[in-house]
């Protein structure tokens, strides 16, 4: 399927999922995940109407941002992969969002390194909602504490939470646990507006639970090699 058709089909899935959940379609944003696909594919998706792109690997993302510098003012770049504390500077300088903050040290460095002439860097805290040892992210019980520290950092804007639920029979419970955690932080007064949850395979379930941003790669660009 061409990128244009695949993007329309994905938007239709999002709209249908919102309608069945009784939510307005504009409640859910699409983040187009371009990891492993070349800058030309991003250009095509942009021409087809996508404007926010997710990258997993810092070096690959920076290279693409460089290749697409002519579109810089019209695109948002989101880092959705792990970030080590020694790689924060170019991320603070070049990206618009980081979805994978799970340690205060990384947040502090991003805040210190965010250039003063740019808007604050948008941040989601990554939650290890499946509890697997291999997954990065905070344990749910530790999220509120880090959120209270991150909101005080001047060059960051804490937007919400991100998770990658483990596919399978427990996925719905994980989506619901993330939505409940998100709502409880908001009820405690944190000014959050983003629940980054749902990918190509589970976006309907994520939207039913309350996701506000789905991260979709293969359904738009095809299978990754």
Ligand X SMILES: *Cc1c(COP(=O)(O)O)cnc(C)c1O
**Residues in contact with ligand X by the rule CB under 6 A:** 33, 35, 56, 80-81, 164, 199-201, 215-219
**Residue 140 or 165 with smaller CB distance to ligand X:** 165
Helix axes 104-113, 140-150, angle to 10 degrees: 30
Residue 215 C-beta: closest distance to ligand X, Å? 4
Residue in this structure with the two tokens 């996925």, named with its chain if needed: 171
Contact 80, 60 (CB under 8 A): no
**Residue 81 or 90 with smaller CB distance to ligand X:** 81
Residue 32 C-beta: closest distance to ligand X, Å? 9
The pairing of strands 194-196 and 121-127 is: unpaired
Closest residue (Cβ) to ligand X? Answer: 217
Distance CA 38, CA 55 (A): 11
61 alpha carbon, distance to own chain's centre: 14
68 secondary structure, DSSP code: T
Give kind and range of the element (H or E) at residue 225: none
Residue 112 C-beta: closest distance to ligand X, Å? 25
Residue 116 C-beta: closest distance to ligand X, Å? 29
Residue 185 C-beta: closest distance to ligand X, Å? 21
**Residue 81 or 170 with smaller CB distance to ligand X:** 81
Helix axes 58-67, 39-47, angle to 10 degrees: 60
**Residue 32 or 111 with smaller CB distance to ligand X:** 32
Residue 137 C-beta: closest distance to ligand X, Å? 10
**Residue 41 or 216 with smaller CB distance to ligand X:** 216
**Residue 113 or 218 with smaller CB distance to ligand X:** 218
């Amino acid at each position: 399927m061409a990128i244009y058709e695949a993007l329309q089909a994905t938007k239709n899935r999002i709209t249908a999922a919102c309608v069945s959940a009784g939510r307005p379609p504009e409640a859910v944003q699409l983040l187009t995940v371009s990891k492993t696909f070349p800058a030309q594919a991003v250009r095509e998706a942009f021409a087809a109407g996508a404007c926010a792109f997710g990258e997993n690997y810092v070096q690959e993302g920076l290279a693409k941002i460089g290749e697409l510098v002519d579109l810089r003012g019209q695109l948002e770049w989101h880092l959705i992969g792990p970030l080590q504390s020694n790689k924060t500077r170019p991320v603070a300088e070049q990206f618009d969002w980081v979805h994978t903050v799970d340690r205060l040290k990384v947040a502090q460095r991003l805040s210190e390194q965010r250039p003063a002439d740019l808007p604050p860097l948008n941040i989601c805290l990554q939650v290890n909602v499946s509890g697997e040892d291999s997954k990065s992210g905070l344990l749910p019980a530790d999220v509120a504490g880090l959120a209270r520290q991150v909101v005080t950092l001047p060059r960051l804007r804490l937007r919400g939470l991100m998770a990658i639920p483990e596919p399978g029979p427990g996925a719905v419970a994980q989506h619901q646990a993330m939505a409940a955690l998100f709502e409880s932080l908001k009820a405690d007064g944190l000014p959050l507006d983003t629940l980054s949850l749902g990918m190509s395979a589970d976006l309907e379930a994520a939207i039913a639970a309350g996701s506000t941003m789905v991260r979709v790669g293969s359904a738009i660009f095809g299978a990754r090699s």
